[in-house]
Structure 1
Amino acid sequence: MRALAIAHRAGNSLTGLQAANALGVDVIECDVHEYRARLEVRHLKTAGPLPFLWDRWELASASAPRLGLSELLEANRHETMFMLDLKGRRVSAGRSVAKLLHEGGHHQPVLVCGRYWPLVDSVAELPFVRPVLSARNRTELARLRQRLSSVGPTYGVSIHRSLLDKAIVAELNQHVDVLMTWPINDIASLDQMLAMGVTGIISDENVVLAELIRRQA
């Protein structure tokens, strides 16, 4: 199976969206937050009443303009598939995403992923949404394996690369259409994951995505 080239966080800005489309990736990933009844696309987190957004060593003013999910969807003239990475644990946010997609007429196939699976499930009720269940640590992976064996197949999973080996990849591939992993930011890691049988490469690095695209042309 051809592996998907997935541009990590490229959808968090219009500049990133344009660059990913120019590169010719299969999927553009973005981080979706619901904040004060608005769906925002950003990686940075809010800090409660404090006037800034943050992530590890990065800070930004909370008053800076924030890209909305509706703006991002409207700006995607190439119709490249999006992967909406839903943040938080409020199922109401999933219902808001589903409402925006349905009422806005955005009925092209879209991937919806997240580590809080009820949130993903709430959007996956739409027929054009393809659910992707994410696991970042061993506890989440164990729960995911149990769910796949008991509840049944899902469209895709997104597993941190540190959790994968050939046996796990083979097992998961029996239950999903696409097995994604991240972060794959160098060619050696790309080679390793493709050799294992991974079918979705999530990368921050254009050189890695370009190499994957070149190999599968």
Structure 2
Amino acid sequence: MRGMTDRPLLTVAHRAGNTLTGLRVALQAGVDLVETDVHLLRDALEVRHTKALARHLLRERWNSQRRHNPARPRLAEVLAAADGDPRLMLDLKGPSLSVATRVAALLRQEAPELPVTVCTKQWRMLDAFDGLPHVRRVLSVNNPVHLGRLRARLRRRPVFGVSIRRQLLTPAIVAELRESATVVMVWPVDTEAALEHARRLGVTSVISKNLPLLRGLLADRPTDAGPDPAPVAGRALPATP
């Protein structure tokens, strides 16, 4: 059962891009997008999921700014490791809009023509990527209030993509979103039960930390059909509205 579409689901490896090893493993697995969480800490674009560093790690960073924890790579290192692969999805974190400005500047300098997907719950951050036509923008939602705002916004202007907590959605809401969004992603989808729920909803994409589950989706994908739509290496990218 594939819900509202017979096309394969787009596969997104949740947090896999937060380490260089995880990035390489996910890319080698063939997933369609690899999520990387980006924070701005003391003028450095750091990749990690944790919202706040533990106290002892924070003290260590302040005491020795020259030392660098390889488990928390900088965004420039992630871009270098991706080596031109267009399957990065940068999830911009934190309260300050400066992270988006810094990421946009880095992309202009290091990868001006690289197709990259950028996702954030702070939608104003996406304005920083004006003038970068290769950046695909995704509006993220994690609570009912923001979902209501998103639905109202999409009635006025279409977007490339949305990323929404799965439990907030119904098939009717997904159908409405797909009228104005090229990609409808849901998370978390880490179990077979969650995957079946996502299919019943009719979404186009699942975000999962369960790489074997994503590998299963890829293995079941017909050889003559890509995901719908498909921001995939080697395929034409859908236009950003």
Q: Is the aligned partner of 1:96 residue 2:102?
A: yes
1:180 aligns to what?
185
Q: Which moves more between the two structures, 85-94 or 96-105?
A: 85-94
Q: Is the aligned partner of 1:122 residue 2:128?
A: yes
Q: 1:136 aligns with which of 139, 142, 151?
A: 142
Quick one: which amino acid aligns to residue 133 of structure 1? L
Q: 1:159 aligns with which of 164, 188, 193?
A: 164
Once the two structures are TM-superposed, the CA of residue 2 in structure 1 deviates from its matched residue by 3.5
Q: Is the aligned partner of 1:44 residue 2:50?
A: yes
Once the two structures are TM-superposed, the CA of residue 197 in structure 1 deviates from its matched residue by 1.4
Cα distance between partner residues in 2 of 1:202 and 1:20: 12
Q: 1:206 aligns with which of 211, 214, 225?
A: 211
2:236 aligns to what?
none
Go from structure 1 to structure 2 and tell me whether the alpha carbon gap of 1:155 and 1:97 turns closer, same or farther (over 3 Å shift): same
1:5 aligns to what?
11
Do the aligned partners of 2:86 and 2:114 also contact (CA within 8 Å) in 1? Answer: no
Cα distance between partner residues in 2 of 1:18 and 1:128: 22
Go from structure 1 to structure 2 and tell me whether the alpha carbon gap of 1:137 and 1:125 turns closer, same or farther (over 3 Å shift): farther
Once the two structures are TM-superposed, the CA of residue 61 in structure 1 deviates from its matched residue by 6.5
Go from structure 1 to structure 2 and tell me whether the alpha carbon gap of 1:80 and 1:20 turns closer, same or farther (over 3 Å shift): farther
Q: Which moves more between the two structures, 72-81 or 156-165?
A: 72-81
Cα distance between partner residues in 1 of 2:51 and 2:85: 28
Do the aligned partners of 2:14 and 2:208 also contact (CA within 8 Å) in 1? Answer: yes
Unaligned ranges ≥5, structure 2: 1-6, 62-66, 223-241
Once the two structures are TM-superposed, the CA of residue 78 in structure 1 deviates from its matched residue by 7.1
Quick one: which amino acid aligns to residue 148 of structure 1? L
Question: What does the per-residue CA deviation read over 1:38-90, in whole Å, with 9 as the maximum and x for residues that have no partner?
Answer: 11111123359x4336xxxxxx9757613000000101147141110000132
User: What is the SS of the residue equivalent to 2:57?
Assistant: strand
Once the two structures are TM-superposed, the CA of residue 124 in structure 1 deviates from its matched residue by 4.7
Question: What does the per-residue CA deviation read over 1:2-22, in whole Å, with 9 as the maximum and x for residues that have no partner?
Answer: 321100000000110111012
User: What TM-score comes out, normalization by structure 2 length?
Assistant: 0.81
Q: Is the aligned partner of 1:108 residue 2:140?
A: no
Go from structure 1 to structure 2 and tell me whether the alpha carbon gap of 1:143 and 1:7 turns closer, same or farther (over 3 Å shift): same
Quick one: which amino acid aligns to residue 47 of structure 2? V
Greater relative contact order, per chain length (Cα 8 Å cut-off, separation 6+): 2
Quick one: which amino acid aligns to residue 198 of structure 2? M
Cα distance between partner residues in 2 of 1:78 and 1:100: 14
Go from structure 1 to structure 2 and tell me whether the alpha carbon gap of 1:103 and 1:64 turns closer, same or farther (over 3 Å shift): closer
Query: How many residue pairs were aligned?
Result: 209
Cα distance between partner residues in 1 of 2:98 and 2:11: 30
Higher strand residue share: 1
